[in-house]
Structure 1
Amino acid sequence: MFLLIFSTVLDYYTGIKIHENSKLSRKKFWLWLSIGINLGFLCVFKYYNFFTDSFANGLSLLGFNVHLGSLQILLPVGISFYTFHGLSYVIDIYKNRIEPERDFVEYSVFVSFFPLLVAGPIERATHLLPQISKKREFNYSNAVDGLRQILWGLFKKIVIADNCAEYANTIFNNSAGLSGSTLLLGAILFSFQIYCDFSGYSDIALGTARLFGIELLRNFAFPYFSRDIAEFWRRWHISLSSWFKDYLYFPLGGSKGGMLMTIRNTFIIFIVSGFWHGANWTFVAWGFLNALYIMPSIIFGTNRKNLDIVAKGKYLPTLKEFFSICLTFGLTVLAWIFFRASSIAHAFTYISGIFSKSLFKIPQFAGRSEAIPIMIMTVIFIIIEWFGREQQYAIAKLGAKWNRPLRWLMYYCLILAMYFFAGSEQQFIYFQF
């Protein structure tokens, strides 16, 4: 709480000082004071042990045995998210995009609005502050829509994510000696776990905010239906991707300095994005791999090719679109292995185990028979997501024209599914970031 309050006071005050000073040098002083202190806290609490351990390991390779002290501290809740909220606020003031908020309470609500505090989406002052400042009145249709999105988010988290987590953990934690098909299934299960876990949280956050008359930034737009990696990153964790684009990619020069600068800046934002997720080389490798994935579309200028939703207005995609979706999903699953693995060595061992002769065997793992109903539920989930892919969330319009008893039956079916398929409780993955 101290860090949250201190960060809020710091950015509130520095924002006013940036706006009040006419000299550019003074503006820069207050800007960099805010950036330096905020990132300093983030580095100490989140990355200090990582840097000291990596430095000591690097020296040990050169024959020097150094023992550096580590900090036995807990990562403060939501620090990555509210740090980025504050940074975007002071940078926007410095760039003259907004004026500072003079009401401290309203600014505090922007930083610590409870639905998004611990796991996003990462909001912008230009979007959220005006909504906080204006008078809001209860809107019945918005409340119904918000509750529907909360219900869908809970379904994704409790039924799909938590159950997929149970079997993904079993496979990843006992990967040695398992067949390639089993390892591939574990990677696919984790892919659905992290998607339903994080997008489920975002749905709950957006729906809860809508009950209060607040519209938060959309964070997911059916990313697993993407036809290339560039489209995937326009649809996955949208608020973070756009934050890095606006506050890191463009300030570094974006694509204005030619192809080499574009490639350099793309690698920087993907590696920093990986590092943002956690103090482990596996996250850096995950970011680096995604940067490699997106390079062909950057080099050949096809990264803005698929801007609209796939097969818009149609029931099924074309054969070309289907194979593009499968290829993109396959590459994404491969990258998620680095995200989930305990170490780089574990990730490479896991991947090498997939690409073996046992890839074509029937998967075998503890609890396989109990996992079959969950796999069926996951297939049903994918079908619902597909037919709702043109909406803000999958069931936004589902049952809208049905009579009330039938529509309520659908809601109770989702609630009963949560009751009967409730797996072991799993913490939201992005709480740790």
Structure 2
Amino acid sequence: MLDIKAIRNNPQAVSQQLARRGFSFDVEAFQALDARRKQADMDSQNLLSERKNASKKIGQLVGQGLSVDDAKAQVNETLEKISAQLDTLTEQARTVQAEIEALLLEVPNIPADDVPDGASESDNVELARWGTPPAFDFPARDHVEIGEALQQLDATTAGKIAGSRFTVMYGPLARLHRALIQFMLNLHTGEHGYCEINVPYIVNRESLRGTGQLPKFEADLFKLRADADYYLIPTAEVPVTNVARDRIYEDVELGPEGIHYACHSPCFRSEAGSYGRDTRGMIRQHQFEKVELVQLVRPNQSATALESLTHHAERVLQLLELPYRKVVLCSGDIGFSACKTYDLEVWLPAQDTYREISSCSNFGDFQARRMQARWRNPATGKPELLHTVNGSGLAVGRTLVAILENYQQADGSVAVPSALAPYMGGLATL
């Protein structure tokens, strides 16, 4: 959520910044609501002053010849009218405040100054490439063909069990999937110093609101019950970041570089409106798994934290020797809550292109304001909003897809990346 004080101080500037990402901020609607709120506050203050003065009139009325009882009765009648008016104004102010909050909850974050301008993903800027795409002397097969030929990937049975956009994995492929999770967690907790965290896979509405999934993206979520606000998590970002909700961290708790969490979890997304080739296989599923990286940092650390977290995600791809490229998203393509995002895109031979495998974002204080996640600045002794940074380190299913396609052999087998050998019990190929 944006800082309402910043909007009040210069709504036109905020509107111009949001226009960079194609969002039209209705300045007049905001100012009209804020004027109603301000008027309700002023009217309430005036009535409170009247009530205070009315309480002093008993003595004056007695001095004018009224009995004490009559004076009290007259003053009490005035106080009752003022109280009724105050109740009405309080309800009006509450209604207006709720309308302002509802408006602001639909407003996305402001892009960072160094985010390139653009309208869509075609305007994203490539920053670097790593590795060389494999050159096969046979036609490249996609991961579905490979997995089905090995009889280790099965969408038909998954469809019988659950429906479309699910898969069943067997034998070595299932083990490779598990190996990837352990490899990623060991790398991030060992080499990169993250604290492993295990969280609920079910969250409440407040948690989803805190990280920005609600109210805007409810259609993409799986709600569990109509009579209760419980949802399956779309990403571990939601429960892990909400660890900090309604909390004030002392500076010493943050350590020199903030708090870093690594979390493996399943993720559940309805993928409303997603069609085409990505519905086949493991690219875009209703259920998938990720190892998520989350950092809670001081405001002056978030830009550096984004760079380091992105490097940590890149390190997975480098150790697995998977060719990829790094792009910075333009202002029209960054996510709702992000102020800056890097995407890592892995090479998929069957598609002859790079596809997203990790999205790493700096959210500034946008999520922290919604969650009231704060730290106590030792320089002032006062609580201030944290900054949050997160990214996939990596999406496990898409990493598996990349391995199947980049490590495929002419005989239909798939070589196991050397980095995963310790996790595969001596198995060199699928």
Report the TM-score, using the length of structure 1 for normalisation. 0.24
Larger radius of gyration: 2
What's the TM-score once normalised by structure 2's chain length?
A: 0.24
Higher helix proportion, which one? 1
Higher normalized strand content (fraction of residues): 2
